[in-house]
Chain A
């Protein structure tokens, strides 16, 4: 396998991962968009752990609608960014932020009751792993190689990517 082919396969793998995470975010956001009675209230109010007070504040009457909107809009924008391959780095960064909120509101610590989980988690859970995957996407952007960005760039996508290092 020559190094260029190996490099392309690595890129393809990252594009594939970017696609899957984008899919997940977009679908979560779209379900909320189409369901007008959706609210994060229950999720927020059941938060546990060191940041419980911060999340309780988020469920306050005048704060909650803002949180609900930001969450839905965030999920949609991040999902679109990752799938379409446009502004993927900010999308990945905001994705990490959003996932951190989910993680911190229900941290998988052994002394806390795990709610709505189908597996067993200790410190590391799916939110954390997805956030870590987004860090990879942030560090190795692929949109100029595969995505809208490649059409909007002037120079060769691969060259540009390689020079990014």
Chain B
């Protein structure tokens, strides 16, 4: 530049130096635009060929009209959550959440509760056999606008004429008796899972629900999860091809997860109506641990098969609608919590569906049949996802859906060969938090989503699926319609869980007779006696 006349800024060289950045800037902008558009095109091509509809759950109806009078039976941990969702948070919870919100600004549970829609419900009755819990409800919910009364038994509560509907969150052995009593009285029922505790009451409850005008719903709230509805579309469009194996898992490694719940310091025969708690369970002297940690005993709970497998079974049943398995085999043991419990803490349940098919991309008749493997441990919390494995693709199913093409797929052979698809990049990804669906994502955004950081559920707002599930039940009561998890789904869930429990306790394969709708009898075995016997495995007497 030394040779350049210094003051002539309009010389050719000066102009080049002045404007050199312009073509670069233009080129970079064009490159970015074509990068974005190109990826979008590739993505659109794949998405169009898959034709998956990112479903939104059907909108539930209006909550207008007279307030619905609800009673809560069983105001424990789960019961208080259900009631909170209906708009009633007790004083203890509010104080705890205020404290948490101050400590951690990311904890928005209190704010979320405050912003929740008014479901037009009055909480008029509570029944809990533990005085401390019943009084907490009375003290929290007896307000000028809401009068609540305590009842000693569920019969008194249901017969009081003060409730239109009940929410049942008792130990498992009370689910069916209370549900049946309420349905016979024409009172609407929302009951926690598992729907029943033994086989005969499963049939009795089905009869009661069929003969009652009341609305019956089982608390499998994940039926409201957007991703599961989208997964239904994935299966319908045969994106996965023939699914031969489904894996679902439970992995927990903490006291709470192993049902080692806190034993309240005020628990005593004076504060707990022990006989009322026992109900139809075998007689037992007062036992605080049995009362608070009832999930650890077959007498009141149903272990991994009833407590946690039911979640996974119903999730898959919601997506595949495969019904009751033709055969179930189960195994496991008490391996990590040898604390006097008699339900297993490691359990594998294989559910066989030899006639079921999700569809096929190959010649007719080549593929048929599926196994659902449920594998659970309460001694390790490594996250194993739910995986549906098809001939053409594999779907990871959670709050998000991720689908990978299979290298040997028939359906995607051409797209794989032309490198429009590859087996490492998801061919479809669905995240209810994102604006739309995304066929191709970076490792980083996958990480964020896996961490649950992008979770939102409805219109960009984090919504509790239990809230949506209860709202659906309320809407069916007010506006008609059938809950997504009603008696049919509940029956399938309960029978499958009991088959798992039976197989484990008997160490035998348990089969379902689809025509007769019964578990195939085994000579000399009374299935209910097996399930209810309060021992780790069945001891014939």
Contacts and interface: CB of A to CB of B under 8 A. Distances in A.
Interface string A145-165: 111111101011111000000
Nearest to B33: A34
A159 B7 CA distance: 10
B28 A26 contact: yes
- Closest A-B pairs by Cβ, 8 of them: A30-B32, A42-B448, A151-B18, A116-B444, A34-B36, A84-B21, A83-B21, A156-B6
A19 interface: yes
Interface residues of B, number: 39
Nearest to B444: A116
A8 interface: yes
Contact of B9 (A30, A57, A153): A153
A45 B19 contact: no
B443 A151 contact: no
Interface string A71-104: 0000000011001110000000000000000000
A30 B33 contact: yes
Contacts of B114: none
B461 to A, nearest CB: 8
A56 B9 contact: no
Contacts of B2: 4-5, 8
A110 interface: no
B414 interface: no
B394 to A, nearest CB: 24
Contact of B36 (A35, A147, A148): A35
A111 interface: no
Interface string B14-30: 11011111101100110
Interface in B407-436: 434-436
Interface of B: 1-2, 6-7, 9-10, 14-15, 17-22, 24-25, 28-29, 31-33, 35-37, 105-106, 434-436, 443-445, 447-449, 451, 453-454, 460
A115 interface: yes
B17 to A, nearest CB: 5
B44 to A, nearest CB: 13
B448 A33 contact: no
Nearest to A31: B32
A115 B106 CA distance: 20
Greatest chain A CB density within 10 A among B20, B21, B449 is at B21
B29 A30 contact: yes
Given A37-B436, A151-B9, A159-B6, A30 B1 contact: no
B24 A19 contact: yes
